[in-house]
Amino acid sequence: MEYIKSRIRDVYDFPQKGVVFKDLTTVFKDPRALHIIGWDLSQIYRDKGVTKVVGIESRGFIGGSILAFELGAGFVPVRKPGKLPADTLQASYDKEYGKDTIEIHRDAITEDDIVVLHDDVLATGGTMAAAYELVKRMNPKKIYINFIIELGMLNGRANLPADAEVTSLIKY
């Protein structure tokens, strides 16, 4: 993970003053780093029978797609309102910079699915908590939660469901 950490760019005062944003675009453009992330993520879930990976817009699409490919699972996007073309379920939530809403296709997950919810960074946990609730409404067999980076000082795990297995590759 030291190689991955060395590729993460800190962007100060983004998206607002006082925030140090952990920019993963510098990791994603590095072929070796991208391969390491894909491999390490897949090793967590290799023997868990995962059938769907749900990636949260937008950077969660990158790691989520790689994870789905590595596991031989399907990929499901969670998007901002109005971006998905068919019937959706919707959840609103508070995040560190205001309020937001996300959607998922109503038919994306079945009761037979084992799901990994993936996003790039766990900050306050609001987005992931909302995504978890959306997926939970579809009654899959199991839901796992995964991040590439976890910002521990923001205590985002406290906002995630207590019954969820949460993993992060890198913790700050």
Task: Indicate the SS3 state at residue 22.
Answer: strand
Catalytic machinery residues: 59, 96
Predicted confidence (pLDDT) per residue in 10-54, tens digit: 999 998 899 899 999 999 999 999 999 999 999 999 999 999 999
CATH of domain 48-171: 3.40.50.2020
Q: What tokens were used for 69?
A: 């490919």
Predicted confidence (pLDDT) per residue in 82-91, tens digit: 999 999 999 9
How far is residue 146's CA from residue 32's CA, in Å, rounded to a whole number? Answer: 21
Residue indicated by tokens 């996003």: 119
